[in-house]
Amino acid sequence: MSFSVDQVFAQQPDAEATILEMLQADKPFHVVIQDIFNSLGWSLPDNGETIKTLADSAPSGNLDPRKLESLHGSTLGYTAKWHEHRYEMYGLEWDITGLYLVPENPVASMPTMGLIHGGSSNWYEFFLDPLNNPGLGQYLAQKVPVL
């Protein structure tokens, strides 16, 4: 029996197909192995420069997520919308916030991916890295809605 390297690789699904198949499965959560995610090759239209410039110039490093709403989807690959829900509980004011990223060219029939942080982090951790370079959320938002 003979085979070629091309035949072997043709039989293995690419990273995008693997992840999309996983996300379409009816499960409460999914884990994507870092090697698979890194092999996706999803890029940002402007390499993340627009957001980095905005974040670097923010006073005291405090990027206002509402400013993202004015940026063009064609520049970023997605549109951004900041959501706030305010309520009172135990006589105190509380809020729940979220940055909703919607791809310009989404993969059809994909649900919104919810990224939930623990108590010591916030939306920044998924949107930017510590040096204001693109974070996981920006790459995911090239193909699937992210909140």
What is the per-residue pLDDT across 48-66, written as a single tens digit (0 to 9) for each? 999 999 999 999 888 999 9
Residue 85: DSSP 8-state: E
Per the CB < 8 A criterion, the answer to whether 71 and 105 are in contact is: no
Residue 141's Cβ-count burial label (10 Å; 0-12, 13-18, 19+) is buried
In the chain the first and final C-alpha atoms are separated, in Å, by 50
Q: What is the pTM of this model?
A: 0.75
Low-confidence ranges of the chain (pLDDT < 70): 1-13, 118-121
Contacting residues for 84 by C-beta, under 8 A, at least 6 apart: 95, 96, 97
